[in-house]
Structure 1
């Protein structure tokens, strides 16, 4: 049995047989043609390019119909490349001037372009290299008559295991037959992840060398929530996961019922349950699970899924589309949180030694003001179409906040002069993600309309623990008394200054912490959509005084273990079957 950890992209548990999709790199030998054959090769080249474009358009339309508009946008990059004269004209010239075959010219040009993307070193450009190679395979398939439709020949339910999937391959996934997906490469924003997750199947990517550990037909378990793939599971593991799947299936009806019920405690206090999303297509799932709106819209994907910076129109259309899907519900947009391992390092003159403490998030925006203004203009334009709130991440000083607000005010003035409609009273908030912001909450409360406590980074910065480092991951805990005290301090301050406060870290979606968060004074939780029913179940089973007593008790502890034990005991008193399929994450 092999247990392989990866990056969780789409939740769910499946057990099935592996279908290993091996990378195929066609070898195209160097051949020349006679002068009389050049015209024919040019016709073959043009026909192959046109046929590949038509197939891409069909894939785009199929993806839009099956998965929604956002996943379908991925194909625009591919279509743009096939129409890019700076790529196509040299191809024709190579055939005309050097009399090489159309197939050789295509392979040479596309692979050189892919190599250039790979040499740029970042995940963003490595994804572009994969896209270019997809086009290479498409066009070569037309020229040499090779079929690329192995996925289309799947006849029984399987778990697809691959190095990576191209967007076209991901769009081909027939979810009546493909029940899960695992890949060596990729991240949450890779094209395969976006499209496969939109298909609604469990997905784990970034598994390093999973294709080396599994063969066609072997039994595989994917746990899309834990980011785990188990190859050749033993009997006890199979039994455990089968029971888990049975319990999850049994709770599906309860989940649907809970989605329709109000989110309030037994003594009538309403707790708003908002969604954390990364893509607009997730709004459908959010509403199906009973979400009240979007409490955190991460906008990094607009930068990480394309080779060039998104335009104002790209931003605007995405936000407007999200508002349309929300149908009057609120949308809180976090301005772009780039940095660290994401986007800024390839732009830096010298890569940072410690990017998590460097030029990231709002700091990056304040040193790249034209890019920042572009996003702010789009947010303001979209505010004319629905309830939008703008939220600034990683604010650590009053000066940062004031500078940010000055830029926003300037953009507002610019829009007003241009006659652009927008909400002049758009609510402005900040993420409380660093201890300095938590300790200065009273100063910030005079400047903003709302706070959102981002516990993922707050824990990391408070405890000096890199949450991505497995060697110290055991020290990363939301139950640490210092973290609890910081959250308590922020909620007390927000109550005193009447500033709305929510929490949007992972603990907001963990049923184990729900009673504590209510007891600390939080009345808005923003969480992963799939966790809303689980948290709502706890909310509807408790009263506020009980939660407040729990918070006071926890406040007297000095160790994480004491906090966790207390939370488990209290939750089990309220919901004795909490472990029976209703995970406490």
Structure 2
């Protein structure tokens, strides 16, 4: 395989990748899943594809296309006398697949740490779920179909329901379901899963329709420089693991593989979400230089992690981290976060075949609190809906789950689940600076009902003699226009606001943020969105309560100046975004930020707003890079 101008492949931090050792024996036969790429007679034209950057960095190298590899299945129908044998085959396959998944979990725990091993632990639990066996057995016995087809019917049904959801975080979990489906059916078909990495002749970029979480957990950064998938998004477990391994990754590229089969080399930009096939020499040289610059920049940024996030005129800004796994708190500390501004608790439910117990939740929350070493942590209550939890908690699939029974609405409808979570959360509050965040609050009645339940649970714990934090701060996520428009009233009844910009944009503009056909209409820069944010910040300031931003806007440099100009002084984001935002803040002057914000609120279109913010951003980045004193 030819690698490019100088036959050098580059990994995510800008350093040349270690070349693969020369084979000492006959190499294995190529896996048919790795598409053959004939050498082109002449240089192919450069092609650029845009997706979603899910793990930052730049990777340059040869291309390997991973095709779907179908299993050879037996005939669908079985004879009546063969039903008992099919059930026995099912049980053997479930046991073998669970054992294999448990082994993969142990290996992931050693390589990646416990939070990523939990992904595979969830798979093991799902394989061992008695309901899965019962559903598959029922199909075998009632419809006299093979064990393979029974498993596929059950799990494809779950995967299809997940993919239909408007919440991208949960729709991405279809990959987990298909991962365990492949394990079980593979055992039934007598085929041992094989890592595609075994056939890589050199460190490469892997392009696939999708990668399962199991594939991702086994990625070797020395062999896989980066990957891009046609499907998926930021919320997928595959993306989470890629970020942990610091492998650049792009998801949701769309129709990529048909174009990639003849490509000899590619560039993958995990920050901009770009895949460039057969880059022209000038493009290749530009990205090689950018990779080197990125490596140098992050070395400098790591040295600045202890610096305060203070503007040039002395205004302090609290930078917080968003986490989903407890162990991600370590990354928050590494990059100098003031605390955790959003701890999503959904994963505790997604990884379990049954709702987690009070004790299981308490242990998770307590570990997160202790790991922050006294820094505050904002724990958000369950942000899922009955439709999204139907495989575990019951409930039917709603036609429009984004407007249905989700988040706080769901918790209030299922008080036994809500009270269990609140008990665990309040118990953990005795261990440190814990704050509670209620998601998708729409009406004052919802807030008051939730606070009443919280008060009842606190009284129960006191009666039991359990310690808890008195005067526990309670805030709401401002994610819908209703709560933004009523922010002045909400401000009288809560301790803080946290603006969830992702859903706020979706609900304000009536645009499904997971629908690629209307993606051009989904814009944080839309004047309607900006005015709602300004209204919320103003209401918080009038009441004297903190107002932070924990949605994607909080970590996007384009909007940092605007948010500071409005008066936002708390920004929460994925830990890897903290260093760049800190550096920018240290180059901002508040008087200029206020001017930018005021001008943005006067504009008519998102395009005009973006142009204004981009023009304001460049000189501030320059000021920050010069190391001008800031506080």
- Settle same-fold status: TM greater than 0.5: yes
Q: Given the alignment, which residue of 100, 105, 113 partners 1:60?
A: 105
- 1:110–1:132 contact (8 Å) kept in structure 2: no
* Whole-angstrom distance in 1 between the partners of 2:270 and 2:53: 5
The whole-number CA distance in structure 2 between the counterparts of 1:215 and 1:399 is: 56
Name 2:238's counterpart in structure 1.
192
Counterpart-to-counterpart distance in 1, 2:518 and 2:72: 45
How far the C-alpha of 1:402 sits from its partner, in A, is 0.4
Question: What displacement does 1:559 show?
Answer: 4.5
Of 114, 119, 144, 1:74 maps to 119
* Residue 246 (structure 1) aligned to one of 292, 302, 320: 292
Q: CA deviation at 1:118?
A: 0.8
Query: Normalized against structure 1, the TM-score is what?
Result: 0.82
For 2:234 and 2:549, locate their aligned partners in 1 and report how far apart those are by CA, in whole Å: 22
1:445-489 CA-to-partner distances (Å, cap 9, x unmatched) read: 221111112222323333444444445444443334443333333
Query: How far apart, in 2, do the equivalents of 1:341 and 1:197 lie?
Result: 29
Is contact 1:467-1:476 (8 Å) kept?
A: yes
Tell me if structure 2 keeps the 8 A contact 1:17–1:216: no
Q: Is 1:151–1:169's contact at 8 Å kept on the other side of the alignment?
A: no
2:167 corresponds to 1:122: no
Q: Secondary structure at the match of 1:533?
A: helix
For residue 10 of structure 1, the aligned residue among 46, 52, 55 is 55
- Partner of 2:592, secondary structure, is helix
Counterpart for residue 577 of structure 2? 531
In structure 2, the CA distance between the partners of 1:572 and 1:71, relative to structure 1 (3 Å rule), is: closer
Distance 1:384 1:578 in 2: 40
2:81 is matched with none
Contact 1:134/1:166 (<8 A) preserved? no
CA drift of 1:87 comes to 7.7
Q: Tell me the number of residue pairs that the alignment of Structure 1 and Structure 2 aligns.
A: 562
Distance 1:365 1:317 in 2: 21
CA distance in 2, matches of 1:53, 1:533: 41
Confirm or deny: 8 A CA contact 2:123 2:176 kept in the other structure: no
Corresponding position of 1:437: 483
Q: How big is each residue's C-alpha offset from its partner over 1:372-419, in whole Å with a ceiling of 9 and x where there is no partner?
A: 223222222322332221111221211111011112222222333444
Counterparts in 2 of 1:268 and 1:126: CA distance versus 1, 3 Å: closer
Residue 452 of structure 2, aligned match among 379, 389, 406: 406
Partner of 1:262: 308
Residue 430 of structure 1 deviates from its aligned partner by 0.5
Structure 2 residue 79 is matched with structure 1 residue 27: no
- Contact residue 114 and residue 129 of structure 1 kept, 8 A: no
Range with greater deviation from structure 2 (181-190 or 449-458): 181-190
Shift in CA distance, 464/26, structure 1 to aligned 2, threshold 3 Å: closer
Equivalent in the alignment of 1:545: 591
Q: 1:446 is matched with which residue?
A: 492
Matches of 1:377 and 1:320, distance apart in 2: 12
Please report how far the alpha carbon of residue 15 of structure 1 lies from its aligned counterpart in structure 2 after TM superposition.
1.9
8 Å contact from structure 1 (residues 114, 128) kept in 2: no
Aligned positions of 1:297-308 closer than 5 A: 297-308=343-354
Corresponding residue for residue 261 of structure 2:
215
Give the Cα–Cα distance (whole angstroms) in 1 for the partners of residues 102 and 543 of structure 2. Answer: 54
Residue 275 of structure 1 deviates from its aligned partner by: 1.4
CA distance in 2, matches of 1:339, 1:183: 28
- Evaluate the alpha carbon distance shift between residue 244 and residue 513 of structure 1 in structure 2; reply closer, same or farther with a 3 A threshold: same
Spell out the pairing of 1:345-364 with structure 2 (5 A cutoff): 349=396, 351-352=398-399, 354-364=400-410
Q: 1:461 aligns with which of 501, 507, 519?
A: 507
User: Matched residue of 2:63: which SS?
Assistant: strand
Alignment partner for residue 424 of structure 1, among 464, 470, 491? Answer: 470
Map of 1:143-542 to 2, 5 A cutoff?
A: 146=192, 148-152=194-198, 154=200, 156-208=202-254, 210-215=256-261, 218-339=264-385, 342-343=388-389, 349=396, 351-352=398-399, 354-542=400-588
Question: What corresponds to 1:136 in structure 2?
Answer: 184
- What is the distance in 1 between the residues matched to 2:54 and 2:442? 30
* 3-state SS of 2:325 partner: coil
After TM superposition, give the deviation of residue 49 of structure 1 in Å. Answer: 7.9
Deviations 1:89-139 (A, max 9, x none): 9999xxxxxxxxxxxx9x943552232121243226744542333433664
Secondary structure of 1:267 counterpart: coil
The CA deviation string for residues 501-529 of structure 1, in whole angstroms up to 9 with x for no partner, is: 11122222222322222221111111232
Cα pair 1:128 1:307 within 8 Å, conserved: no
CA contact (8 A) 1:504 1:525 kept: yes
In structure 2, the partner of 1:101 is none
Indicate if the aligned counterparts of 1:412 and 1:424 stay in contact, CA closer than 8 A: no
Structure 1 residues 207 and 474, CA gap change in structure 2 (3 angstroms): closer
Distance (Å, rounded) in 1 between the aligned partners of 2:126 and 2:519? 42
CA RMSD of aligned residues (A): 4.1
Q: Following the alignment from structure 1 to structure 2, what is the Cα–Cα distance between the partners of residues 435 and 189?
A: 24
Counterparts of 1:84 and 1:512 in 2: how far apart (Å)?
Answer: 46
Counterpart for residue 99 of structure 1: none
What CA distance in whole angstroms lies between the structure 2 residues aligned with 1:512 and 1:350?
A: 37
Indicate the residue corresponding to 1:96 in structure 2: none
- Structure 1 unmatched ranges of 5 or more: 33-37, 93-104, 581-585
The aligned counterpart of 1:97 is none
User: Does the 8 Å contact 1:19/1:216 carry over to 2?
Assistant: no
The answer to whether residue 615 in structure 2 is matched with residue 569 in structure 1 is yes
Structure 2 unaligned regions, length at least 5: 1-45, 79-83, 138-143, 163-169, 627-631
